[in-house]
Chain A
Amino acid sequence: MSAPLSDVLDRDATEGHPALEIADVSVSFGGINAVSDVSLTADNGMITGLIGPNGAGKTTTFNVITGLQPPTHGRVFIAGQDVSKLPPHKRARLGVARTFQRLEVFGSLTAYENLLAAAEFHRSWSGDSTPPKDVARAALDRVGLGSVAEARVDSLPTGLARLVELGRALATKPRLLLLDEVGSGLSHEEVHVLGDLMLDLAKEGIAILLVEHDVELVMRVCSRIHVLDFGLLIASGSREEIQQNPAVQAAYLGVEEG
């Protein structure tokens, strides 16, 4: 499954472009700056964390990357290509897939059909000749939803519906995966299994940008972390750097300074 992917990734790697780069992105809603001049990157084969308190602008940033929210200014590059002017579906065709913090499942389809639809979409624009059914089955097993394959998704609990979104994203064989609190609603053990899955995906070469409130998960899987606070990027760095950064502690982790 990952053989053709890694060819592409090797080429990208030789070109030296990060899977994702956003430059000076700002979004304001009626005079309030949700995101201010944020620049960040996510690299192939790595899990990059994007953390920050509620309302810091994480989901807005995801919406800008996927094209659902036009930025006030700033640019977005996918594997070096400027996609700032492209509509969402054209960006997805470059290998970007995401999950949503506020669920966007196909509620009246079954879990399997959700993934099958995504695989069919992928085939329609990628020319990939793998039968969609096989792709959907494989993705379903990967996220561990085999036992609820035939259940309508709007009858699933939120935690499982989030996994449906992850499986759906995987069914499009993405090169860049944006995960928006995909672990919330899952138990401690389930989050651990999810972390393993993310690490596996990264090993296959996929770039993952992870928005997550579970600090333990973030610290376990992320190689680099960006921290947003009130729409401003207040820190970027390795796990250790972020943990020691006083600004981050004050804004986000710093309960003791409360």
Chain B
Amino acid sequence: MTLFLGYLVVGLVTGCVYALIASGLVVTYTTTGIFNFAHGAIAMASAYVFWQLWQGWHIPTIISVLLVLLIFAPLFGLIVERVLMRPLDGKPVDVPIVVTLGLLLLLVGLINLIFDQTKGRHLPQFFNGAGFTVAGLLVTYEQLIAALSIVVVAIALRILFRQTRIGIALRAVVDNSDLLAMAGGRPVRVKQLAWAMSCSLAAFAGILLAGINALNTINLTLLVVDGYAAAIIGRLRNLPTAIGGALAIAIGQELLFDYLPQWGFLTRIQGQIPILVLFLVLIILPQDRLRTASFTGAVPPRVASLRSSVAVGAALIAACAIVAPFLSDGNLRNSSKGFAIAIIVLSLILLTGYGGMASLCQMTFAGLGAFAMGHVASGASWLGVLAAIGLAGAVGALVALPTLRLRGLYLALATFAFAAFMDAAFFGESLGTGGSLNIGRVKIPGIPTTSDQAFFIVTCVAFVLCSIGVLALRRGPFGRKLVAANDSPAACATLGVSVNSTKLIAFTIAAALAGLGGALYGGSPGQVDANDFPYLFSLTILLLARVGGVNTATGAFLGAASLTLFTIFVAPHNPTVFGHVLRLAQLQYVLTGLAAISVGRDPNGIAGRFTDVIERVRSAGRPQPQFMTAAGSPAAVFMSEEGEGLVSTAQ
């Protein structure tokens, strides 16, 4: 009985932490309509700041806590609101997803850059683990505070939202900011307050979680994601339901953990229960009451014709053949890895750029591809390549089936949950912590693929062929149907087609493509380990695609090329600044994050500007289209008045 009570208390305390996380998410969502993917990263960063104050600079406990919760976190929230969120007003609905994902990567990268992750850090227990005994059970003061805090937070938020003028304004602001402003409210103040509160709540949860677990940027960020399930149960709006969900998840998880038999697979997934709940809740909840967003990205340029895509592809292969002899073996391997990444990004051009479906698990499919390649026929045969494509495609179809009706944010969250789950339950285990899997290079008769130079050309050719294939798909009936399904599912239905099979096929092809990329990705260095396919890398892939140009194969190449150049020229350097070793490889996340955040200011991103310039150059060279030709037709008459609308591209 005491044992059971002990488990219950542990579950209850975890549940309270999940509830704190969920309340933070609900506060920003109800007031700004933005789901903050970076909530976990803010919690993690706050925990590090707290560690620095308390353990690093030996500031007394209570002062450190107050500094973080009342100064650092709210200030951070204000800055986030002012710099990142305010420009999002009136922007396409997928932009907040990109910006908050960018913030997540930025924070992880920054903390990794500042705090050397090879050194272990942990927070001592508060009150040195002291507590009191109830029915033979030791309850620490820390646990008591965690449990009480959520009660206090829940009551405080309830009073704030229901009873006070600002609380009513908080709820009004999301419905209609402009109307609130006209009624004399101050929507900006209200949003600032919401972000400040949300960040404080995140910081509180982060400190409590860091006390239970060791400080680690990636794990801590993921632990906070466990709380997202509770927020989704509350449909991102209902605080009491979210808190109830948080307690149920945590207590259920704890009891399952303690009472289920310790079979290999079960043991592995027990830690993943909140993530599984997140996935299931997303699938089960009715969607119409959730805000949806389609993930469209930049205004696309014209789709390249077969002739021009073949020409550009041939030029790229020729250029690679010319530079190959001048590259070192290491750089050749990095570059062939770059083409493998380009193929993975290309899978998102199809899925996200054309189909509007965001996937945050492309590296998972790549990992499955590498896994299949390494295990089939001694790891270097065409059978392995086929297995890579087949396994990734099959798992892709399995993931797609239940998630087909999800759009925008909810599909992103579901794929995020899947990636996080696979990180812990599959890659960590099957590849082994610290272990690795040998992956060969496919044997092609007459080509010595074991030479780095030949393999570099092989990956380049593979990328070019995949690009030509994806572009051909886009120009054909399947591509039109995919784009149509994204632009208007309702119109597709009233034109006699169901779009589900189209979306399923697109998701499967994209997963298979990522699997192929993964097989090549592993073949480049010859082996992979569990750290090659982290969920964070999947975020990088999506953001690279979104920033680089989610609608063009060139965008995939540019995104991957920038990453490769970074790997070659920046990542290996670790300069010492003020006695700190700066691991510049971490700048990868920082820079990707910053680029993604820039999308908030200009939704078309860098690619959109690029496209704009190209279109302008092109249209300068040819006569302007004539709108007045078919006189008498409604179109001609109308265009004479509003012809402007056609000529100007992305506004």
Contacts and interface: CB of A to CB of B under 8 A. Distances in A.
B636 A125 contact: no
Nearest to B551: A108
Interface in B615-646: 625-630, 632-639, 641-642, 645-646
A85 interface: no
B627 A147 contact: yes
B638 A92 contact: no
B636 A104 contact: no
Contact count band on A: 35 or more
B646 A151 contact: yes
Given A120-B481, A121-B497, A122-B496, A147 B633 contact: yes
Interface in A139-191: 143-148, 150-151, 155-157, 159-160, 163, 165, 168-169, 172, 186-187, 189-190
A109 B484 contact: yes
Contacts of B490: 68, 88, 100, 104
Contact count band on B: 35 or more
Contacts of B477: 117, 120, 132
Contact of A97 (B494, B633, B638): B494
A9 B629 CA distance: 36
B277 to A, nearest CB: 30
Interface string B407-430: 000000000000000000000000
A126 to B, nearest CB: 8
A93 interface: yes
A156 B645 contact: yes
Contacts of A218: none
B629 A106 contact: no
Given A108-B483, A144-B630, A125 B491 contact: no
Which one of B486, B487, B494, B635 has the greatest number of beta carbons of chain A within 10 Å? B494
A59 interface: no
A118 B646 contact: no
A106 B494 CA distance: 13
B495 A148 contact: no
B296 interface: yes
Nearest to B489: A104
A244 interface: no
A105 interface: yes
B493 A89 contact: yes
Contact of B638 (A67, A98, A151, A186): A186
A70 to B, nearest CB: 12
A87 interface: yes
B287 interface: no
B122 interface: no
B498 interface: yes
A179 B43 CA distance: 53
Interface string B267-302: 000000000000000000000000000001000100
B568 to A, nearest CB: 36
Contact of B481 (A96, A108, A117, A151): A117
B594 interface: no
Given A106-B483, A109-B484, A193-B633, A97 B491 contact: no
Given A106-B484, A117-B484, A120-B480, A160 B496 contact: no
Contacts of B484: 106, 109, 114, 117
Nearest to B475: A113
Interface string B488-508: 101111111110000000000
A165 B495 CA distance: 11
A148 B300 contact: no
B649 interface: yes
A14 interface: no
A82 to B, nearest CB: 19
Given A93-B496, A120-B481, A105 B491 contact: yes
A107 interface: yes
A145 B494 contact: no
B198 to A, nearest CB: 31
Nearest to B484: A106
B494 A121 contact: no
A144 B629 CA distance: 11
A137 B219 CA distance: 57
A125 B645 CA distance: 35
Interface string A42-80: 000000000000000000000000111000000000000
Contacts of A108: 296, 300, 483, 486-487
A162 to B, nearest CB: 10
B645 A122 contact: no
B384 to A, nearest CB: 36
Given A121-B481, A156-B646, A145 B635 contact: yes
Contact of B480 (A93, A100, A117, A187): A117
A206 to B, nearest CB: 16
B483 A109 contact: yes
Which one of B495, B627, B632, B646 has the greatest number of beta carbons of chain A within 10 Å? B495
Given A93-B496, A116-B480, A109 B487 contact: yes
Given A87-B498, A108-B296, A144-B634, A68 B487 contact: no
A98 B639 contact: no
A251 interface: no
A258 B494 CA distance: 39
B645 A155 contact: yes
Which one of B483, B497, B630 has the greatest number of beta carbons of chain A within 10 Å? B497
A118 B496 CA distance: 9
B488 A104 contact: yes
A168 B480 contact: no
Contact of B635 (A87, A144, A189): A144
Contacts of A109: 480, 483-484, 487
Nearest to B644: A157
Interface in B459-517: 477, 480-481, 483-484, 486-488, 490-498
Given A144-B630, A147-B627, A88 B494 contact: yes
B231 to A, nearest CB: 25
Contacts of B641: 187
Contacts of B494: 66, 68, 88-89, 92, 96-98
B493 A147 contact: no
Given A144-B630, A144-B634, A155 B649 contact: yes
A173 B638 CA distance: 26
Contacts of A117: 477, 480-481, 484, 495
A144 B645 contact: no
A125 B483 contact: no
A124 interface: yes
A89 B497 contact: yes
B637 A189 contact: yes
Contacts of A165: 491
B633 A159 contact: no
Contact of A157 (B296, B492, B642): B642
Contact of B491 (A106, A120, A190): A106
Nearest to A146: B630
A149 to B, nearest CB: 10
Interface of B: 296, 300, 477, 480-481, 483-484, 486-488, 490-498, 625-630, 632-639, 641-642, 645-646, 648-649
Given A92-B496, A187-B637, 17 more contacts: A68-B490, A87-B498, A89-B496, A89-B498, A106-B488, A109-B484, A114-B484, A122-B495, A132-B477, A144-B636, A147-B625, A147-B626, A147-B633, A148-B627, A148-B635, A160-B638, A168-B491
11 contacts: A87-B498, A89-B493, A97-B495, A105-B491, A121-B492, A121-B497, A144-B630, A147-B628, A150-B625, A151-B646, A186-B638
CB-based closest 3 A-B pairs: A144-B633, A92-B496, A190-B634
